[in-house]
A and B are shown apart, each in its own frame.
Chain A
Amino acid sequence: MISFKNVTKKYGEEITAIDDVDFTVEEGKIVVLLGPSGCGKTTLLRMVNRLESISEGEIIINGENSKDLDPIELRRKIGYVIQSNGLFPNMTIEENVMLVPDLLGWSKKDKRERFKYLMKLSGLDAEDYGKRFPHELSGGQQQRIGVVRALAADPPVMLMDEPFGALDPIIREKIQDEFLQIQREVKKTILFVSHDIDEAIKMADKIVLLRDGKVMQFDTPSEMLAHPKNEFVSQFFGKDRAIKSLSLHTVENLREIIGLGPVDETIQDTKTINVHQDLRNTLSMLMNQEADQVIVKDDHGENIGTITIDLVQKYLHFEIKGKISASQEG
């Protein structure tokens, strides 16, 4: 758990970079710091592992005030991932990943076992990649190693500074999915910096929207999309936020609330989607009119019904439009 208590950072008397920030990252949750460039999100992140100093207020990490801890010890207990992966070119992948355990004086055997486990998590072959050097890997693989390295000493808390920002969109989405998969297993308390709204909606349990060092809103993605607290928040998420919010829901959610349509066996031109597909992609597919009928399949590959634009609209009405029309923007 990471608690920010009235955290403020000032440069001299004039400039206030972080202004009275107050929120908590619950155990095992991902909180995304979101905002335009220069809003102070990276500064705020770096204050946690004391790469930046705190002027006023305090940050409590798992019950301990960060000020009372030795910065070196503190940092070794916090996983840190940066955008440009920061792998050390002079070390092999194994040496890179096992750096913090090495600093902590783990035995050779423990390090070896941990490395194998971590590489299994990342889906890369430990034997094959362990001896390679960073420059021999693709950008996506390097970033996977960057994430795995942060997990090496099994720190309870992780800081991620735009970890997927430098990757191309296709690889980025894939690695985001992989990371969420890993998170389901390791359940770390994560503070994550992003400037990408879609990434924030996808990754976050809660979002902190920042502007000029002040918190504009601290809420779950769906609440923030449905009930923007002020003009800045609603503008930041854009006029298409109803569409954006669809990515938070799956066909499965729709099926539970309003049910799917029947399958018409006579129609030849069909397409299928998985029941766990999110509604944003589903809608996009329906609007493309790629087929006359879109059949929903469950995990066993059984047809469980069909989906249409009408059904998505109905769902929007029940789940989202109802909420949005309750706010002033309508």
Chain B
Amino acid sequence: MNRKKLIGNVVRYSLYALVAAFFIWAIANNYFDYMFTQSETFLVLLRQHVVLVLVSSLLAILIAVPAGILITRPKFKRAEWIVSNIANLGQTIPSLAVLALMISILGIGFQTAVFALFIYSILPIFRNTVAGIESIDKNMIDAAKGMGMKPHQILFRIELPNSAYSILAGIRTAVVLNIGTAALAYVVGAGGLGVWIFTGINLFDNGFLISGAIPVTLLAILADYILRKVEYAVVPKGSRRIEKA
């Protein structure tokens, strides 16, 4: 136990030291300067990035959660493997390929990037929704039916509250992935912090690279933090322990 703790602490503090060293190095070389000298551009790119993520994630949630609910209804259960396979297929195509394919259909710009990110976010949300609902004890559903609950009451009062943890975990995964992937939006001319990252790569300019990459990372950490708070607020107290077990 003590040994484990020691190793854990060593790893943790070396990581902190590494991050600190990185920031000291970056600041010493004035790599964050662009964020302040070109603050207007920075804010535009940041806003573009956030809007891309928000729009595509919201669309994905609006499609994937209801789809997951629908596919777990007895009527559609048989179609589940088909839909799951399609969703899986979507995930196996490289994100750059999806972008390239979409350019030929939707042209370049915002809508193409949103569509590609949306396709990419569907699978984690869909899969977690289905898994969450299916993991509910069948006896519990039987009891609910036997007590005279209607199908929609079973869904809203039993199934969704008890799978909330799993569904929200899927959304969190999708959003965090999405923030990273949205850097590629630059390729189709949709802007975002990817503009500075790719400029930095092309010009071998660490300043641009870091001024683009660090905010993306912080954005992802922030989103993860916020969504964990949401999780805590939404998941019913009684099912928290069970979902984590």
Do B242 and A86 touch (CB < 8 A)?
A: no
What's the count of A-B pairs with C-beta under 8 Å?
74
Do B139 and A75 touch (CB < 8 A)?
A: no
Do B238 and A92 touch (CB < 8 A)?
A: yes
Contacts of A230 in B (CB 8 A): none
Looking at B142, B143, B144, which has the most chain A CB atoms within 10 Å of its CB? B143
Query: B177 in the interface, Cβ–Cβ < 8 Å?
Result: no
Q: Which residue of A is nearest B151, CB measured?
A: A72
**Per-position binary interface string of chain A over residues 54-85, scored 1 when its CB falls under 8 Å from any chain B CB and 0 otherwise:** 00000000000000000111111110101111
Query: Given A82-B142, A84-B137, A86-B140, does the pair A91, B238 have CB atoms closer than 8 Å?
Result: yes
Query: A33 in the interface, Cβ–Cβ < 8 Å?
Result: no
Do A76 and B238 touch (CB < 8 A)?
A: no
Query: A51 in the interface, Cβ–Cβ < 8 Å?
Result: yes
Q: Tell me the complex Cα distance, A91–B154, Å.
A: 13
Do A75 and B145 touch (CB < 8 A)?
A: yes
Do A90 and B241 touch (CB < 8 A)?
A: no
Contacts of B237 in A (CB 8 A): 133
Contacts of A71 in B (CB 8 A): 148
From residue A206, how far is it (CB to closest CB) to chain B in Å? 23
Query: Given A72-B148, A73-B148, A103-B148, does the pair A133, B143 have CB atoms closer than 8 Å?
Result: no
Query: B146 in the interface, Cβ–Cβ < 8 Å?
Result: yes
Contacts of A82 in B (CB 8 A): 139, 142-143, 146
Contacts of B148 in A (CB 8 A): 71-77, 100, 103
Contacts of B140 in A (CB 8 A): 86-88
Query: A49 in the interface, Cβ–Cβ < 8 Å?
Result: yes
Contacts of B241 in A (CB 8 A): 135
Contacts of B139 in A (CB 8 A): 82-84, 86
Looking at B148, B157, B161, B241, which has the most chain A CB atoms within 10 Å of its CB? B148
Total residues of chain A contacting the partner, CB 8 A: 31
Do A99 and B242 touch (CB < 8 A)?
A: no
Contacts of A77 in B (CB 8 A): 148
From residue A222, how far is it (CB to closest CB) to chain B in Å? 32
Query: A213 in the interface, Cβ–Cβ < 8 Å?
Result: no
Contacts of B238 in A (CB 8 A): 88-92, 133-135
Contacts of A80 in B (CB 8 A): 143, 146-147
Do A100 and B147 touch (CB < 8 A)?
A: yes
Which B141-188 residues have a C-beta within 8 angstroms of A? 142-150, 153, 157-158, 161-162
Q: Tell me the complex Cα distance, A84–B141, Å.
A: 12
Do A103 and B153 touch (CB < 8 A)?
A: yes
Query: B217 in the interface, Cβ–Cβ < 8 Å?
Result: no
Query: B236 in the interface, Cβ–Cβ < 8 Å?
Result: yes
Query: B29 in the interface, Cβ–Cβ < 8 Å?
Result: no
Q: Which residue of B is nearest A134, CB measured?
A: B238
Query: B239 in the interface, Cβ–Cβ < 8 Å?
Result: yes
Contacts of A49 in B (CB 8 A): 146
From residue A43, how far is it (CB to closest CB) to chain B in Å? 13
Query: Given A103-B153, A133-B238, A135-B238, does the pair A90, B146 have CB atoms closer than 8 Å?
Result: no
Query: Given A84-B137, A89-B242, does the pair A51, B145 have CB atoms closer than 8 Å?
Result: yes
Contacts of A72 in B (CB 8 A): 148-150
Pick the residue among B147, B150, B162 that contacts A90 (CB under 8 A): B162
From residue B207, how far is it (CB to closest CB) to chain A in Å? 51
Q: Tell me the complex Cα distance, A92–B157, Å.
A: 13
Q: Tell me the complex Cα distance, A46–B139, Å.
A: 13
Which A208-240 residues have a C-beta within 8 angstroms of B? none
Do A51 and B142 touch (CB < 8 A)?
A: yes
From residue A275, how far is it (CB to closest CB) to chain B in Å? 40
Q: Tell me the complex Cα distance, A100–B162, Å.
A: 19
Contacts of B242 in A (CB 8 A): 89, 135
Contacts of B150 in A (CB 8 A): 72
From residue A8, how far is it (CB to closest CB) to chain B in Å? 22
Q: Tell me the complex Cα distance, A78–B142, Å.
A: 14
From residue A320, how far is it (CB to closest CB) to chain B in Å? 39
Pick the residue among A85, A89, A99, A149 that contacts B239 (CB under 8 A): A89
Contacts of A88 in B (CB 8 A): 140, 144, 157-158, 162, 238
Q: Tell me the complex Cα distance, A83–B146, Å.
A: 13
From residue B244, how far is it (CB to closest CB) to chain A in Å? 11
Looking at A72, A83, A86, A134, which has the most chain B CB atoms within 10 Å of its CB? A86
Query: Given A90-B161, A90-B162, does the pair A75, B146 have CB atoms closer than 8 Å?
Result: yes
8 contacts between A and B (CB under 8 A): A46-B146, A82-B142, A82-B143, A86-B140, A89-B162, A91-B236, A135-B241, A135-B242
- Chain A interface residues toward B at CB < 8 A: 46, 49, 51, 71-78, 80, 82-92, 99-100, 103, 133-135, 149, 159
List 17 additional contacts besides A46-B146, A91-B238, A133-B238; criterion CB under 8 Å: A51-B142, A74-B148, A75-B148, A76-B147, A78-B146, A80-B146, A80-B147, A82-B142, A82-B143, A86-B137, A87-B140, A88-B157, A88-B158, A88-B238, A89-B162, A89-B242, A134-B238
- Chain B interface residues toward A at CB < 8 A: 137, 139-140, 142-150, 153, 157-158, 161-162, 236-239, 241-242
